[in-house]
Structure 1
Amino acid sequence: MKGIGYGLAALACMTVATPGWACTLCSCSASTTGIGFGGYDPGSSSPKDGSGSVTLSCTGLVSLAGTIEIAMSPGGSGNALSRQMSQGAASLLYNLYTNGSRTTIWGTGAAGTSTVSATLTGLLSFSQTVSVYGRIPAGQWVKAGPYADSVIVTITY
């Protein structure tokens, strides 16, 4: 008998401003599209992949030479190298990556994780969408049902 688990990594949003080296008199915000993994088959030998996005929007005197850094919290597990979605006491391992080949874990830049930088490319307004890649490793025998986690996206500009 196969159990089917469903994974959803929710991305929550928070903006944090630092002294305006990248953007003068700016107001920036971010919106996210969560990752819906769909059905997960623990008997499959292949991981389950999904993707979402973070969209940055800034208005003000945008510097053409500046960058915005995007970091992600470890989620409910407290460890970005070993993120977990939960359903009650049950958990399902997953992770978030900066690249489509899913080799670089997206975190705060500490403990083996990386952040993503977006280059400011406009005057008065700037908008850019960055992809987030997720993966649930194969072979996790979990009870069926919805699994979820929340990750805080921090934008430094």
Structure 2
Amino acid sequence: MGRSSVNRYRSARLLAGAILLIPLLAGSASALCNVSATGLSFGPYDDFSPVPLDTTGTVTVICDEAPPPDVVISIGPSGNGSFNPRAMRHASLPDLLLYNLFTDASRGAVWGDGTAGTSTVFLKNVTKNSPRTTTIYGRTPAGQSVSLGPYSDTLTVTIVW
């Protein structure tokens, strides 16, 4: 069996899983802000591919307050306790599939809580008439040798206004 046959077989069976984002709100008691986030799905991961696997998701914030608040969005560390790299865990094995989330399309600024070299996202004047949506950029580095099967991680998205 040639490398390309093995490559297609592993690619078809290895699922990179999904990143579940759980919103957490922090603000004044009189303010009302709602947040929604889409999970990120990397799709099949090919451990023979020389290129990273990229995906995107979104976070949307809507606030009902006058004057419109400015909002800071942070994303907590992975289940492995780290921002860089984060890791998805295999569903039934001890394997980890490394990944990260970024604030920019070039994937240079790690999205975190503003500590340890991570960045947050600032949204100005968020209202119900002008909701703000920002993109989450995900990347799984190439060349990781991991077992076949589903991988997942759960992160907390915190909104402060």
TM-score of the pair, normalised by structure 1: 0.88
Q: How many residues align?
A: 149
How far did 1:57 drift? 1.1
How far did 1:125 drift? 4.8
- Counterpart amino acid of 1:145? G
1:39 is aligned to: 44
* Unmatched 5+ stretches in structure 2: 1-5
Report sequence identity in percent.
37
SS in 2 for 1:103: coil
- Counterpart amino acid of 2:87? Q
Give the alignment's Cα RMSD to 1 decimal: 1.6
2:53 is aligned to: 48
SS in 2 for 1:144: coil
Q: Distance in 1 between matches of 2:39 and 2:67?
A: 28
Q: Would you say 1:107 and 2:107 are equivalent positions? A: no
Q: Distance in 1 between matches of 2:95 and 2:62?
A: 37
- Cα 1:121–1:149 change in 2 (3 A) is closer
Select the residue among 75, 82, 89 that pairs with 1:72: 75
Select the residue among 127, 131, 145 that pairs with 1:127: 131
C-alpha deviations, 1:19-43, integer Å up to 9, x for none?
Answer: 58xxxx4201211101111111000
How far did 1:9 drift? 1.5
How far did 1:121 drift? 4.9
Q: Would you say 1:147 and 2:138 are equivalent positions? A: no
In terms of fraction of residues, the more strand-rich structure is 1
Runs of 4+ residues over 6 Å off in structure 1: none
1:93 is aligned to: 98
